[in-house]
Structure 1
Amino acid sequence: MARTLALLHTSPLHVPVFDALRDEAHPGLELRHFVDEELLGRARAEGPAAVADDVRAVLRRAVADGARAVLCTCSTLGGVAEAAAAGAGVPVLRVDRPMAAAAVAAGPRVVVLATSGSTLGPTVALIEEEARRAGAPVEVRTRLVAGAWARFEAGDTQEYVRMVAAAADTVTGADAIVLAQASMTPARHLTTATAPVLSSPRPGLAAAAAAVGLR
């Protein structure tokens, strides 16, 4: 049986990122990408719950297409996707959960960086959930990288990543710095921050590969 994983993206820029990670670490994994850029725009304007029906529709299409699990790569929609798992018939994972668990394990002082304000609430809630699960204390601080999202939307990913890295460089008093969105991942290679800088694509894809039976 094919080891097929469906990925729900809200930007086409994530497709080559996850394809490259698959080629590097999970060559037996077949990826099928479902991209819907409008979902994030509506979720930012109306709240994630407003697109719950649309997310469930994507999950149904993915399962009908042969997916053995679905990975939501959008942090804003991760909770909505997980909530829809009960009716999906296959595991539904959010890409940032393994990252959140790693942040809690790193220590109680976690700083969350985001470029979209809609991501902050879901990410903080996820980290606090993982802390309760681990029985560990956590204090989460947040910082929105002002102006960065406009650069991403304009296609200027180089400046976008530079702005994220510069924001990470200014963080102090943290045991871990969380890059809340998958699009922020390249900033890990530019920042000079002394605290661990965590991103979601690699550990998230690894968890999804395990969910379809490929380790």
Structure 2
Amino acid sequence: MLLLCSNGLTCENLLDCVRQEIHFHSGEPRAALIVTGDPIYKEKNYHVPRCVQELESLGFGVDLFDLDKQPAQTLFSYDCVELIGGNPYTLLEALRKSQARPVLQTLARDKLLIGWSAGAMVLGPTIALIDQFAPEMNLPDLTDLTGIHLTNVQILPHYQRFLSRYEQLENRCQHYEQTFHCTVLRLNDGEGIMIDSQNDNFVKIF
């Protein structure tokens, strides 16, 4: 299953959703928390302790994982993989360089893949939406904004917070939808969507 969130597993509904998807086996289930989304602080990102605590509360043993230093294929040994937020441009570049797409595709199909904020946006078809609001984040100067494309769903995380941060956010988002003939799912913090990656159908929306 694929779970896209605004700011992580920050409500009981999302935690319950993950509990239902955990397939326990002999031994402690393991989760990898991918910290590559923050190109500066990585494992010292201030969200990391919270994310580790959330995963541990679900019964996972947690390892911090950096795709800039560790091969993506190692992720096959985990029962759950979570991508934290940060910079979607640098994260997308790291996913491409590490050839992580087939690994993440398999994890979304057979196990549980969680992405939130930038970690959710890169798993969709494109990150062109964020380019409408924060092109200054494009530090690697990407010209191809095609995402990992594990789903056709495009999300806009932190919607209520972004309304006060970006001028005319809703109007610009609607213009984007009309221009690119797509639908953007606006998620507030504490919200997420579970997707069956095999048929790209919504399972639950929180």
Q: TM-score, normalised by structure 1?
A: 0.35
Higher normalized helix content (fraction of residues): 1
Q: TM-score, normalised by structure 2?
A: 0.36
More contact order relative to length (CA 8 Å, sep ≥ 6): 2
